[in-house]
């Protein structure tokens, strides 16, 4: 009889918290082809009490705008100097879709730079974009898109996603790997 009572207590200890919330967040579930759902957990608190630098804020804004088209690797924005953004272009289902990710990346990065505090209160900066991608057969990502936007272009440019096919042509100077010219 005591054994049955012990089993009932153990089962209740395992089941009841799942109905009452139990104080633990629900585990994330991978949904097959669609991948794991995005996290809703707040970012981990930093142990430093310092405010983020302008470069860190710009990098966060760019990554937020860039979304699934790529991942920001580095942002350099020295005071009075050019803004340089290096990002990894996300592989898509086909080469054409991957090229589109590169173009969308350019438009979204430039839109984030336009909207950022870097351009607030002064003239627009010169912007350099370096898009990296791991080509088939290469051991590491290589630079496939290198663009330069002069301050006038940054200030007056229309970097709306609808114009993504013109992304490379909007730059004042462009070097694009043959694989990404299609």
Per-residue pLDDT of the chain (182 residues; tens, 9 = 90+): 665 765 565 655 556 555 555 555 544 443 344 444 444 444 555 556 788 887 888 889 899 998 888 999 999 988 888 999 999 999 999 999 999 999 999 999 999 998 885 555 567 889 999 999 999 888 999 999 999 999 999 988 889 989 999 999 999 999 999 988 87
Task: In whole angstroms, give the CA distance from residue 74 to residue 27.
Answer: 32
Whether the Cβ atoms of residue 132 and residue 89 lie closer than 8 Å to each other? yes
Residue 120: the pLDDT is 56
Domain ranges in the chain are 54-180
Distance separating alpha carbons of residues 73 and 66, to the nearest angstrom: 12
Residue 58: how many other CB atoms lie within 10 Å: 23
3-state secondary structure (DSSP) of residue 70: strand
The predicted structure's pLDDT at residue 70: 92
Residues 6+ apart with CB under 8 A from 102: 69, 70, 89, 131, 133, 144, 145, 167, 180
Which H or E element spans position 14? helix 2-20
What is the reported pLDDT for 30? 39
Looking at 3.10.310, 1.20.140, 3.30.870, 1.10.150, the CATH number of the domain 54-180 comes to 3.10.310
For residues 122 and 77, the answer to whether their CB atoms sit within 8 Å is no
Q: Which residues pair with 149 in a beta bridge?
A: 127
């Amino acid at each position: 009889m005591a054994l049955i009572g012990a089993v009932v207590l153990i089962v209740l200890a395992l089941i009841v918290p799942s109905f009452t919330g139990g104080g633990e967040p629900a585990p994330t579930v991978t949904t097959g082809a669609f991948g794991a759902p995005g996290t809703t957990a707040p970012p981990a608190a930093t142990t430093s009490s310092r405010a983020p630098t302008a470069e860190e804020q710009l990098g966060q804004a760019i990554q937020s705008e860039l979304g699934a088209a790529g991942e920001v690797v580095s942002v350099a924005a020295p005071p009075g100097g050019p803004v340089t953004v290096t990002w990894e272009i996300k592989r898509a289902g086909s080469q054409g879709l991957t090229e589109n990710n590169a173009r969308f990346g350019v438009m979204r990065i430039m839109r984030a730079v336009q909207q950022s505090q870097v351009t607030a209160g002064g003239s627009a900066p010169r912007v350099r974009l370096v898009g990296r991608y791991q080509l088939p057969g290469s051991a590491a990502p290589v630079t496939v898109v290198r663009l330069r936007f002069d301050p006038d272009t940054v200030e007056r440019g229309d970097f709306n996603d609808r114009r993504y096919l013109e992304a490379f042509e909007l730059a004042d100077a462009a070097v694009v790997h043959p694989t990404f010219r299609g």
